[in-house]
Structure 1
Amino acid sequence: MIRKHSATLHGHRTSFTVEDVFWEELKAIADRRAMSLAALIAEIDDHRSEDANLSSSLRVYVLEWYRSGGEPPAAQ
């Protein structure tokens, strides 16, 4: 199921939509990296290209995380 989520990034509220499986994996990745989910989302947001939306960037991050064997992906 796809759901809308909200986060505060650098003092501003934003929302994004991701499927439950991506949301669960983002939480697991944040846990493995010993960081908060909000910090992980902010990091992904900081490194995404200007033409990429946050929802897509979150999905791509999860994919790249597993492709890289559990290492943070390079900036997108």
Structure 2
Amino acid sequence: MCEVFISADPRLYESRARSVRLHGVATSIRLENLFWQVLEEIAGRDGMTVPQLCARLHDELEYERGSVDNFASFLRVCCGRYLALQLSGGIPQDCRVPIRSLDARKVLATEPAGVPLAA
């Protein structure tokens, strides 16, 4: 079983920081390369750059939920949910289909059951 995971290209789990502007302030976000690749795909679907996507997610998250304690962790969860929603059929695997064109309720209806949190 472990070979499936340990055979990953080490470059995928190397982390790197990228600079983005959030509310006009330059900030640095450190993520593993795999997550940057997924964010590139998500952003590209809607004609955005990764910094534009990060700023938009940050702004919408603040508007809906208030401040977030760990934005990098939030981005990792976004990547995981994106991939899970592709597997469940909620988000088409065809990257030419913009995410903004999808009905969010229909997409979320395909979301796999959540992971139980430890008590």
Question: Normalising by the residue count of structure 1, what TM-score does the alignment of the two structures yield?
Answer: 0.78
Give 1:14's match in structure 2, choosing from 27, 39, 42. 27
Larger Rg: 2
The residue aligned with 2:75 is 58
Identity between Structure 1 and Structure 2 (%) = 31
Alpha-carbon separation, structure 2, partners of 1:39 and 1:4: 16
* SS of residue in 1 equivalent to 2:47: coil
Question: Normalising by the residue count of structure 2, what TM-score does the alignment of the two structures yield?
Answer: 0.53
Query: Do residues 45 (structure 1) and 58 (structure 2) align?
Result: yes
Structure with the bigger RCO (C-alpha within 8 Å, sep 6+) is 1
Paired positions, count: 74
Structure with the higher fraction of residues in strand conformation: 1
Task: Give the aligned CA root-mean-square deviation in angstroms.
Answer: 2.2
Alpha-carbon separation, structure 1, partners of 2:69 and 2:78: 12
The residue aligned with 1:27 is 40
Long gaps (5+) in structure 1:
none
Give the superposition deviation at 1:51: 4.1
Long gaps (5+) in structure 2:
1-13, 92-98, 109-119
